[in-house]
Structure 1
Amino acid sequence: MNRDLLGRHRAVLPDWLALYYDDPIEITHGEGRHVWDADGNRYLDFFGGILTTMTAHALPEVTKAVSEQAGRIVHSSTLYLNRPMVDLAERIARVSGIPDARVFFTTSGTEANDTALLLATTHRRSNTVLAMRNSYHGRSFSAVGITGNRGWSPTSLSPLQTLYVHGGVRSRGPFADLDDDAFTAACVADLEDLLGHTRAPAALIAEPVQGVGGFTSPPDGLYAAFREVLAERGVLWIADEVQTGWGRTGDHFWGWQAHAGNGPPDIVTFAKGIGNGMSVGGVIARSEIMNCLDSQSISTFGGTQITMAAGLANLAYLLEHDLQGNARRVGGLLIERLRSVAAQVPAVREVRGRGLMIGVELARPGTGEADPAAAAAVLEAARSDGLLLGKGGGHDTSALRVAPPMSLTVAEAEEGAAILERALLSLNE
């Protein structure tokens, strides 16, 4: 069955549309933290559709809200008043930390980042953008143009002038041997030097934890230090919270809060988990920034009634069940468990992350050189043992990405860790 579907897939879909596994699987249904494939195999899901199934598969509260809304109306566009969209915008504005916040809904994180770039460049009258090395912000023409990860940037053409800044990766690069304070100071000095060689940029866009980059992050406070330098020049700070938002990092509701410094970002983008699988993205910004456009606009599919119903139910469940606290507690146990395993496997260069956003970077022992073949082997071994993981990293996808739904139990964390332990130990054979 899979071979037939794979053949049909390859016949009609682009060659560059990536598939996991030598023998790709078709996922047919899920429940809680588990999914099943077309052959009836059950898997513990530690990737959640790329961090999108945030609370749980087939969460009753969300499926009920979607079903009930579908029975009333699915879509009308933003040309008409839309109560679920207003309800969700009010709730997101309240939890955003941004004063006088305005919210615009999109269908994806790519579109959210695209909108943030439009707002920033219009507000600042500049098409120069600062981005982080090893970053990823989506697959649109403008988002690819600010992506600092060569594996996900198929063209150098761009409507923007992009300048890349040090700091997104703590354990590689010219400042890796410095302590956290010295690392931050060196990155700030590099930013100041860079700004001395260019016209004032519109904004810095940065993921608090780099997702596709392999769950790398700078020391806490780095972006606050950047903000001080940027604010002196009127440069905006865009926090790309597509993967880090809604409490996934455990310690904070938003990833930017680890870098709060003198206040929240000027613009926050979000997507993925808020819809728990429904297509929801968006932008939060201060009113003077959001309202800077001097032409009309609409969104045909952003903020549809059915996706907003899902977002409302999902956000309510997350807050009422303190999934941020669960991510902190269970994620803390999981990362320590994986670090104890890593001590037995020379191929593991680093276990990093926070909450339920954990990266396991693999390298050739004794060299520090990326080992994408080892990462692929572990991905396959874990799948054959009933565990789904992700991959990423700026060095040839040599990092495993661990990001289960945030309702993960301690028992499920231990089950997944045991499977991953066996897969990693197989590298020693």
Structure 2
Amino acid sequence: MTQHPQDAASLHARHQAVLPSWLSLYYERPLELTHGEGRHVWDAEGNRYLDFFGGILTTMTAHALPEVTKAVSEQAGRIIHTSTLYLSRPMVDLAERIAALSGIPDARVFFTTSGTEANDAALLLATAHRRSNQVLAMRNSYHGRSFSTVGITGNQSWSPTSLSPLQTLYVHGGVRTRGPYAELGDRDYIAACVADLEDMLQQTAGGIAALIAEPVQGVGGFTMPPDGLYAAFREVLARHGILWISDEVQTGWGRTGDHFWGWQAHADNGPPDLLTFAKGIGNGMAIGGVVARAEVMNSLTANSISTFGGSPVTMAAGLANLTYLLEHDLQGNARRVGGLLIERLRAVTAGLDVVREVRGRGLMIGVELVRPGTDERAPEAASLVLEAARERGLLIGKGGQGGASLRIAPPMTLTVAEAEEGATLLADALQAVQGVLAPS
């Protein structure tokens, strides 16, 4: 049933009265999304939107994908919950498939309910295995909202406390086009970042447990280093016995198009020691997890379980979703349609001073905005573009340093026609905002 605007305002007021003030909402008039189909969603007022954000990269294949909803319904009709204290066929089935796809030899899989929890578990494993609480992380990174993952997040917009159970050292390299090495060519850029890492390690007392890094920084605005940076880092880490955790919460399952996992762009010397995943694998169901070689995964000396990780219903959803993704080559679609979308966005924004850069890979695309005539990040422009895009029927995200980058990550079944439509709508929104911000 279509609701009136005052109903949305009432719901917003109720939200503010009972939920935390830091639980942020998009838009001046926040949206209540009521249903979706394919790459489209509808709000409570009956408005239809082309979804270019997918619930923060979580609706990976499509809204209301029949194969997933059928699997969820059938499993819920049998049994919804058991916990990891009992054998679970759906959990073993999905673990076997993920272990085989991970590229990690003798892999073990532990399921969680979110990317935050997956990264938290990976940090526990790495620090226990290495008997050290020192961790390397990337500047501008984001790894979750738990106490430990906030402590290694290199993006101050998402790090509300300096307290942490870990000692974190931040490495340069995740933001290619800003910072002290931005003007260097890729080869020299990698060399400079490696030299910085080497220098840091020489000045650090004790052993480092691990480096955790997103191959493409998600909340950071879809920034990425040149291909091969983490392979070069890995050579240094290996000499010191330091583990490499690849945070694939946003980059996994073929979204980058060129590779199934983000780490494969840096694969000169093999897979990471640990890999974390979440978001898209459940197509909206709460699934996260860690893959690690057995030596690392089995290093905990105390008992552990997961009450909700590996739940039969979420595992059924993950199996159906992964099967659909592989059988329909959605990685290939992300490469083809994503490549077209990036080039189309570069073309339509070429004359806009508010756009500093269109970057990305596959269906992970960032558009960094600046104040016209300057190189200063413009978070106010990003907020205005979100509103303008919504008015035109397009939903996108934002992030990056200072919140000045637009984040575009549609479901991976996106069609060429939908990519063209979305690019046109976004270009129109950007032009409107430039008109507001440009000096007279």
TM-based fold match above 0.5? yes
The residue number in structure 1 matching 2:72 is 66
User: 1:428, CA displacement in angstroms?
Assistant: 3.2
Counterpart CA distance in 2 for 1:346 and 1:11 is: 40
Q: Does 1:390 align with 2:397?
A: yes
1:211 to 202, 213, 218: 218
| 2:371 counterpart SS class | coil
2:145 to 130, 139, 142: 139
The residue number in structure 2 matching 1:359 is 366
Counterpart CA distance in 1 for 2:262 and 2:64 is: 26
Counterpart CA distance in 1 for 2:355 and 2:144 is: 28
Q: Is the 8 A contact 1:360 1:400 kept in 2?
A: yes
Q: Does 1:371 align with 2:374?
A: no
Q: Does 1:127 align with 2:133?
A: yes
Counterpart CA distance in 1 for 2:388 and 2:91 is: 43
Q: Does 1:312 align with 2:286?
A: no
Q: Is the 8 A contact 1:332 1:354 kept in 2?
A: yes
Q: Is the 8 A contact 1:389 1:401 kept in 2?
A: yes
The residue number in structure 1 matching 2:345 is 338
Counterpart CA distance in 1 for 2:222 and 2:348 is: 19
The residue number in structure 2 matching 1:299 is 306
Displaced runs of 4 or more, over 4 A = none
The residue number in structure 2 matching 1:88 is 94
| 1:78 counterpart SS class | coil
Q: Does 1:159 align with 2:168?
A: no
Counterpart CA distance in 2 for 1:343 and 1:297 is: 53
Q: Does 1:409 align with 2:415?
A: yes
Q: Is the 8 A contact 1:142 1:160 kept in 2?
A: yes
Q: Does 1:79 align with 2:85?
A: yes
Q: Deviations over 1:349-388 (max 9, x none)?
A: 0000000000000011232111011111111000010000
Q: Deviations over 1:386-426 (max 9, x none)?
A: 000000002x1000000000000000001111100100111
| 2:55 counterpart SS class | helix
Counterpart CA distance in 2 for 1:180 and 1:68 is: 51
1:241 to 235, 248, 258: 248
Counterpart CA distance in 1 for 2:9 and 2:431 is: 30
The residue number in structure 1 matching 2:108 is 102
Counterpart CA distance in 2 for 1:365 and 1:184 is: 31
Aligned residues: 428
Letter of the structure 2 residue corresponding to residue 54 of structure 1: M
User: 1:80, CA displacement in angstroms?
Assistant: 0.2
| 1:119 counterpart SS class | helix
The residue number in structure 1 matching 2:297 is 290
Q: Is the 8 A contact 2:151 2:161 kept in 1?
A: yes
- 5+ unaligned residues in a row in structure 2: which ranges? 1-6, 436-440
Q: Does 1:274 align with 2:265?
A: no
Counterpart CA distance in 1 for 2:365 and 2:19 is: 31
User: 1:344, CA displacement in angstroms?
Assistant: 1.6
The residue number in structure 1 matching 2:227 is 220
Counterpart CA distance in 1 for 2:98 and 2:126 is: 20
User: 1:246, CA displacement in angstroms?
Assistant: 0.1
TM normalised by structure 1 equals 0.99
Q: Deviations over 1:241-265 (max 9, x none)?
A: 0000000000000000000111000
Q: Is the 8 A contact 1:247 1:324 kept in 2?
A: yes
Q: Deviations over 1:65-100 (max 9, x none)?
A: 000000000110000000000000000001000000
| 1:30 counterpart SS class | strand
| 2:80 counterpart SS class | coil
Letter of the structure 1 residue corresponding to residue 268 of structure 2: G
| 2:203 counterpart SS class | coil
The residue number in structure 1 matching 2:425 is 419
The residue number in structure 1 matching 2:13 is 7
Counterpart CA distance in 2 for 1:121 and 1:341 is: 47
Q: Is the 8 A contact 2:117 2:288 kept in 1?
A: yes
The residue number in structure 1 matching 2:50 is 44
The residue number in structure 1 matching 2:62 is 56
- 5+ unaligned residues in a row in structure 1: which ranges? none
Letter of the structure 1 residue corresponding to residue 130 of structure 2: R
| 1:28 counterpart SS class | strand
User: 1:427, CA displacement in angstroms?
Assistant: 2.7
Letter of the structure 2 residue corresponding to residue 219 of structure 1: P
